[in-house]
Every structure is written in C-alpha cells, then in structure tokens.
Amino acid sequence: MSFILIGELAARTGVSVSALHFYERKGLIKSTRNDSNHRIFPRSIIRRVTVIQIAQKAGLTLREIGSALRELPSERVISAGDWKT
C-alpha cells in the first residue's frame, strides 16, 4: 500500500491541513503514523476527501457524510460498484 503525508494530501485535494485534522477528529478520515511520527494516509484517501468536499458543497452535514462513508470501504479507493451498493 502506498502512503502520502498530510501536506501532500492537502496539496492534492486543496483542503487545508487544519481541515484534514478536523475531518480526522470527526472520524471522516483516518491516518497512521510513520517512524518519524508524521501522519500518513493511504493514497486512496484522496478520493474520500474529494467526496467529503463535494458532499459539503451539496449541502450535506458532516454527520450525514460520516454516516454514508461508514458504509463504504476505507481500505481502498471507492469504486462505482461501491456507490451502487
């Protein structure tokens, strides 16, 4: 599995590091720590963060978004089949 640091995640998604920390505290995303104690995320998190952004722009609350995300796989990229289910 390939990982990225939080700064790269912020740059790739356009979401601030502080917002990513907030999403993590709310349980919307999950990180682990590397040997240097830096937050790292699986690359698949990029799509999850993008989904959060789109859902917020559509007017969904973080609670609603979290509820929907709990139904989707967190260990890999969300697929079209996942959305259909």
Lookup: tokens for 43: 């690359």
Q: What is the pLDDT of residues 29-83, one digit of tens each?
A: 999 999 999 999 999 899 899 989 999 999 999 999 999 888 877 667 777 787 6
Check residue 71 and give its pLDDT.
82
Residues in CB range of 26: below 8 A, 6 or more apart: 62, 66
The region that residue 47 occupies, defined by phi over 0 for left and psi between -120 and 50 for alpha, beta otherwise, is: alpha
pTM: 0.83
